[in-house]
Structure 1
């Protein structure tokens, strides 16, 4: 049984941004939300909570930290200390609040475009200034059967930024919009740079459970003593199990230093965790892996469809299969759609994609396509884009 539904069916019942931002005749393939049905354990847990009236303020329990620690151990061999896990509403809030603990006003924070657009906003909201150190692209023309593994961090550029005064690196791993799973050796090198400059690495790992079978995700906090002392990880069940609206994320540390940062958080940062998000997250990390396996199989099939069909549908378009998640980074500069093709294609193709420029200057002429949908939907999207040439 497929975990995906038709977006046109979803339009009739759902009120989230994905299904209300555009008219019903536009295929929504932009925001990182899937056309999925809920995993049964999560659905049952939420129904039970609502039926029982368990919809108040979140309680002070260790259940989610312990369940996540078990999941991280099974999935990645990561030994998480539940006492060094805190919750809050979402990874966006987690990023801002952790940055507020580790930077002073005006401090430089390294980001690596093309990257998730709110990263710039996180830094500004926390009182910092952004220093861009773009990722290094693979050499040669993109082969759709390659993965994004050829992309890599510019470690020399990060070292130069730290030497110039930056004291924090905001890492995205797996990296949105590329679906790049950073290699362990790169993460170890980053941790050593952080130690050399007494910097902090804040690692957004929300897409980690969506890592595909041909890649290996490495949690930053497992990358040696330097990472333990200088790192914080942020994660959530929201991306892998499509739970963004339930509002729960985790901040994970591995050192007394991190404990100090967490203990310095305003009480309300934790208190604002959504109780339904907490409930759903416990169910996801404890009982949601069979559903996740089915999802990953469908996403892998869609990833292959893009590799096989994109060249025919859009000759000249560039694409490498993501190593994680359901987001495809499309290089559309060879097509006659200008610097911001997503803006044009909403009207011309009736397909909504994410605008590449929002991910940084490196996104000029690019767009991000969400293939967290049925294969039928994906093929319809490709047909519409092809007809718009």
Structure 2
């Protein structure tokens, strides 16, 4: 399947050329991207446009590239040491979010965010205890927690895709039944919906967790990717969250998933617990990963600003393309991340129930299967995100405008051919 190359975002505009020059999302061609060997670009055949897994189609930020080159030139490829990563993150949190509560002494390096979540949950829960999630939510929450012998309890998001406090309170009661210990594993900002929780919402969550004796672990991997119109609030910055934990990384914002490293952060009441983290956990992160993530937080701000402008433009473009090619789909405009949650139930497709269920990332069903088979566009299947995900797909718009246009055009033709 071949299509003509669409023109870029604003043909004829004098400033469009300058914008494209600095937009990381407009730098690479499809031919260049197909030379990549990562999961996104090698899972499917070459005729498929991959808009599924959370990798962006961007070059490496110059400060990160320079830091890695310098380390390699020095042969600096040994074991990680020191607190430079946490220091860079603390400075970034101050500059971006006005948060001065990140104390380097109350942090630990971990291999990546999900492994860090597992290790923190082991500190505050036991096998057989419950972990609450707000579904639909990131599929590895189900897989990693379930594989570690904890029970998942779902608190479904409201119709507006925001946290439903009544559902959360009910889930807390179920999670604590029989005197079990319980934790809330929260996605902040939320994956897959792109919702950015407000300070007021997070304060309510913290108060509710305190009331029910539930500990909170906040996955904040997408925190730097809050788009214009929304404001990120670190969970540990709200009253009542002093006994909570957060996990942070430069992985998503600077596209560093292949360079493993993350930071676990404890609230002041949880700091002693974090110090019980087994020493071997700190040996898991890559030294080069820590160097890359530190450089991103310390010197990658200008690159990030350019990226956010590109993502904002793509977010708008996606809305226009959905209206043009797929008017029966529901498009919830994301406030953060580079992920869009599309409601395909109006297409009348079925089959989500044929797959294995939440956390099974590899399976496709319903609309995602149709778009792969008929449009040759790979999306994430909604059913793996848990209750409320059926009939939906997650689309990664962290790609070039050209690929986004081609993908939506293909999807529209596939739907019209049903």
Match of 1:234 among 217, 235, 247: 247
Q: Which moved more, 1:3-12 or 1:80-89?
A: 3-12
In structure 1, C-alpha distance between the alignment counterparts of 2:341 and 2:88, rounded to whole Å: 33
Match of 1:213 among 193, 204, 228: 228
Pairs within 5 Å for 1:175-190: 175-190=190-205
Residues 264 and 126 from structure 1, CA distance in 2 versus in 1: closer, same or farther, beyond 3 angstroms? farther
Residues 291 and 237 from structure 1, CA distance in 2 versus in 1: closer, same or farther, beyond 3 angstroms? same
What is the RMSD of the two structures over their aligned residues, measured on CA atoms?
1.2
Matched, 1:54 2:76: yes
Match of 1:358 among 361, 365, 384: 384
* Cα distance per residue 1:292-340 (max 9 Å; x no partner): 0000111100100111221220121100210001111011111254342
In structure 2, C-alpha distance between the alignment counterparts of 1:308 and 1:208, rounded to whole Å: 26
In structure 2, C-alpha distance between the alignment counterparts of 1:227 and 1:380, rounded to whole Å: 44
Matching residue of 1:277? 289
Q: Which moved more, 1:185-194 or 1:231-240?
A: 185-194
Match of 1:300 among 312, 315, 335: 312
TM-score w.r.t. the length of structure 1 is: 0.93
Matching residue of 1:173? 188
Match of 1:192 among 207, 210, 215: 207
Pairs within 5 Å for 1:95-244: 95-138=117-160, 151-166=161-176, 167-224=182-239, 226-228=240-242, 230-244=243-257
Contact 1:85-1:251 at 8 Å conserved across structures: yes
Could you tell me which runs of 5 or more consecutive residues in structure 2 were left unpaired when the two chains were aligned: 1-20, 177-181, 353-365
Matching residue of 1:29? 51
Matched, 1:76 2:91: no
Matched, 1:44 2:66: yes
Residues 48 and 177 from structure 1, CA distance in 2 versus in 1: closer, same or farther, beyond 3 angstroms? same
Secondary structure (helix, strand or coil) at the match of 2:34 reads helix
TM-score w.r.t. the length of structure 2 is: 0.87
- 1:358 to partner: Cα distance: 0.8
- 1:77 to partner: Cα distance: 1.2
Secondary structure (helix, strand or coil) at the match of 1:130 reads strand
Matching residue of 1:386? 412
Matching residue of 2:4? none
Could you tell me which runs of 5 or more consecutive residues in structure 1 were left unpaired when the two chains were aligned: 139-150
- 1:350 to partner: Cα distance: 0.9
- 1:252 to partner: Cα distance: 0.7
Matched, 1:65 2:86: yes
- 1:165 to partner: Cα distance: 3.9
Matching residue of 1:147? none
